[in-house]
Structure 1
């Protein structure tokens, strides 16, 4: 049996503008997803697929015909159709991979609660790419068509400065921050349609190239800060400028306006996690509002 593993992701700063070629500051997480592949001759020209949650409960199963990748059976038609698309795209990039064996028995296993949204899709793209020996960025462009920062996080073990224009560029960062113990991630359990609405709002507005350059410069500055104060200042400037452009209130103003520290959405406004900078009483403040999952930076980030 072969085992593959990919990191999850969090997007510190650069959201939305990364799709326009701007810089993005991304954080691979200690939590990720594994793929286990067993070659088999007993099931007969099939791919048997099982997806496990972090607690080993099954959340999805499907069986595919090996040569055609037709769906034989499934517990979820939408998920199996999406997986079928990925497998067919992978097959187009390496047609020989499925002809070597008569069948495959495959399991995936999340290392975190599924609702955290740390990249079950991007890790899957990277895992299938490892198994099929293909470029994950090419597979991503044939399937989910994300900016690619999440794919970069999947197979890099340090924070990243990322851009995708004119081509994919990834720079690993050594964050020698002595204030990491003052950074925390708070899980908001927000509905995903919130971030989709905000994302579409950005896409539908005319491009402001001056703003994109300005915010991209802030992203680069964020990778070079030496103090918590400087990081907080940059995160606030970024959110204020982007909020002004989109004419949308910052998540902090909507939900945590009386909190004295910085609250920064990660990846999308209305997303699953926010970064919070420490102030006295921080844990009590968020727990009083019903947010009990508070994870220190060093426990989450590689």
Structure 2
């Protein structure tokens, strides 16, 4: 087998976090950052796996036997990452048994182009790359292994902004011409900690809110956001979105918690409490955030594909 290389885009969720799980329409954008998967043939009915961070350091490496994958041999002595990988590859085997039955082994490397802790889609880009490699449905692979709404897989597959929703249990993706004329007023700031989307989702589900009315409101905001021409209107919509979700999650907004004196809007993207926030402001917010100890600040142009 010749070397094969696959690539998937990272993601940011502008609207619809959490409620996308319950059928809300979400606006999501692919990022200029992503992950490559490089597959070589191997031997011994094993996969020799190495995962590289964006600075080329290895953050995970292990050997997975075909037997472990086939029979999903999850063991407590394994690293958590190995067990997650076994779950994903076991599901991939269910969807495409040939990749084990017709092979002697593999040597696989995954290479992130963003620092792993940024939370731009380490898992979703991996799942979509495996989907491309084995020519299987990446949404099914995600659903039956890792879980989540799937918007991140949709971003992995698309090079333009998308409207994403789950309708009758099936993912729907629509490309939208979202290219705000005020994008110089939008920045992304990393909150210095990674948020586990798995635990954030289960926390949301335990709240068991009646979200029907909320979904209607969020859908209306999403539709307006796509058409908005003025930065001020966009900022107000983001603020409104934060307030609604703050109610649902019974959690104060990131601005209330960390940046109450900031002149502008700070909106959580995806799981609340970590990863990146979107900042909408008239003036360049860099100095403000650096003074607060947040040094990873990217412009819209630097971040969004």
Q: State the TM-score, normalizing by the size of structure 1.
A: 0.92
Q: Residue 59 of structure 1 aligns with which residue?
A: 59
Q: Residue 186 of structure 1 aligns with which residue?
A: 189
- Give yes or no for contact 2:165–2:171 (8 Å, CA) kept in 1: yes
Q: CA deviation at 1:172?
A: 1.0
Q: 1:149 and 1:203 mapped to 2: Cα distance? A: 21
Q: 1:138 and 1:261 mapped to 2: Cα distance? A: 40
- What is the 5 A alignment of 1:269-288? 269-280=272-283, 282-288=285-291
Tell me the SS of whatever aligns to 1:153: helix
Q: 1:141 and 1:72 mapped to 2: Cα distance? A: 18
- Give yes or no for contact 1:8–1:118 (8 Å, CA) kept in 2: yes
Tell me the SS of whatever aligns to 1:192: coil
Tell me the SS of whatever aligns to 1:84: helix
- Give yes or no for contact 1:61–1:76 (8 Å, CA) kept in 2: no
Q: Residue 262 of structure 2 aligns with which residue?
A: 259
Q: CA deviation at 1:78?
A: 1.4
- Give yes or no for contact 2:182–2:230 (8 Å, CA) kept in 1: yes
Q: How far does the alpha carbon of each residue in 1:103-124 deviate from its partner, in whole angstroms, 9 at most, with x for none?
A: 1111001111111011111111
Q: How far does the alpha carbon of each residue in 1:110-168 deviate from its partner, in whole angstroms, 9 at most, with x for none?
A: 11111101111111110111111100001011111110101101111011110012221
| Counterpart among 223, 235, 247 of residue 220 in structure 1 | 223
Q: How far does the alpha carbon of each residue in 1:25-59 deviate from its partner, in whole angstroms, 9 at most, with x for none?
A: 1111110010000113xx32211111111111111
- Give yes or no for contact 1:199–1:268 (8 Å, CA) kept in 2: no
- What is the 5 A alignment of 1:231-242? 231-242=234-245
Q: 1:217 and 1:192 mapped to 2: Cα distance? A: 27
**Count of residue pairs the alignment pairs up:** 300
| Counterpart among 154, 157, 160 of residue 155 in structure 1 | 157
Q: CA deviation at 1:247?
A: 3.2
- What is the 5 A alignment of 1:47-196? 47-66=47-66, 69=69, 77-166=79-168, 167-190=170-193, 192=195, 196=199
Q: CA deviation at 1:197?
A: 5.6
- Give yes or no for contact 1:54–1:111 (8 Å, CA) kept in 2: yes
Q: 1:23 and 1:151 mapped to 2: Cα distance? A: 15
- Give yes or no for contact 1:198–1:269 (8 Å, CA) kept in 2: no
Distance 1:220 1:271, change over 3 A: farther
Tell me the SS of whatever aligns to 2:82: helix
Q: 1:227 and 1:281 mapped to 2: Cα distance? A: 17
Q: CA deviation at 1:101?
A: 2.6
Please identify, of 215-224 and 3-12, the stretch whose mean Cα deviation from structure 2 is larger: 215-224
Taking only aligned residues, the RMSD between alpha carbons, in angstroms, comes to 2.3
Give unmatched runs, 5+ long, in structure 1: none
Please identify, of 86-95 and 183-192, the stretch whose mean Cα deviation from structure 2 is larger: 183-192
- What is the 5 A alignment of 1:243-254? 243-254=246-257
Give unmatched runs, 5+ long, in structure 2: none
Q: 1:144 and 1:156 mapped to 2: Cα distance? A: 20
Q: 1:72 and 1:103 mapped to 2: Cα distance? A: 20
Q: 1:198 and 1:242 mapped to 2: Cα distance? A: 13
Q: 2:185 and 2:284 mapped to 1: Cα distance? A: 12
- Give yes or no for contact 2:148–2:198 (8 Å, CA) kept in 1: no
